[in-house]
Amino acid sequence: MINTLIFDFDGTIIDTNLIIAKGLNLFSKAYRGSRLSQHELEQLTGKPLHDQMAALNPERADEMTARFRKWYAQRHDALTKAFQGMDELFDDLRQCSFKMAIVTNNSREGVQMGLKHLGMHHLFQTVITCDDVKEKKPSPEGVHLALKRMNVRPEEALFIGDSSGDLIASRRAGVANVLVGWTSVRRETLMAHQPDFVIEHPLELLQVVSLAEEQIA
């Protein structure tokens, strides 16, 4: 029986696509002299911030990371929001008594900023960030840690995410995955990872839970 839902955060729950794309292009222009191509932007999606900065200019990655965090924090609330339908989804999930967690490559500071902005900080039993693990997604370490903290078996959970790292990490952890259709990454890129389920709207997740339980049974 599926009793636990593990979510990615950026690009899955909170729409940070605009602010991240603006920031990465701004820093790419400043530190390497050109904007990112769509392919390059997709390659960076879902990666930890320091890794993103290192891809732009490895010699100045530490400096860039600190500057990006400051730039991001100053603009976060104005440029981010929950994806449409997400508030209704979590209202329904709470009524169904699901355990819920977040596993993200974002920092704890960044996630707490987002959860506070959305008013969702009380919804999750555990939040695993890049500060809590040695190996970030696509490593399954964060997913394993979330399962351990909640005393849940892999077959009792679903992982919901928007990136290749999400799909790979969940599969390596033995957890069925759900690709969200509102991802900023091209669909064909992600479908190559053969997600177990795809949803086009947050409220479709409850239907997927029922389908997943039928497959397990």
Q: Exactly one of 8, 10, 162, 166 is catalytic; which is it?
A: 8
- The Cα–Cα gap between 83 and 201 comes to 9
Q: What share of the chain is helix, strand, coil (3-state, %, to 5)?
A: 55, 15, 35
Within 96-140, residue ranges assigned H as helices are: 108-118
CA of residue 190 relative to chain centroid, distance: 14
Task: Check the CA dihedral 213-87-68-183 and report its sign.
Answer: positive
User: Active site includes 8?
Assistant: yes
Q: How far, in Å, CA of 58 to CA of 39, rounded?
A: 19
Residue 19 sits at the vertex; the CA angle it makes with 87 and 139, to the nearest 5 degrees, is: 75
Answer whether 21's CB lies under 8 Å from 41's CB: yes
State the catalytic residues. Answer: 8
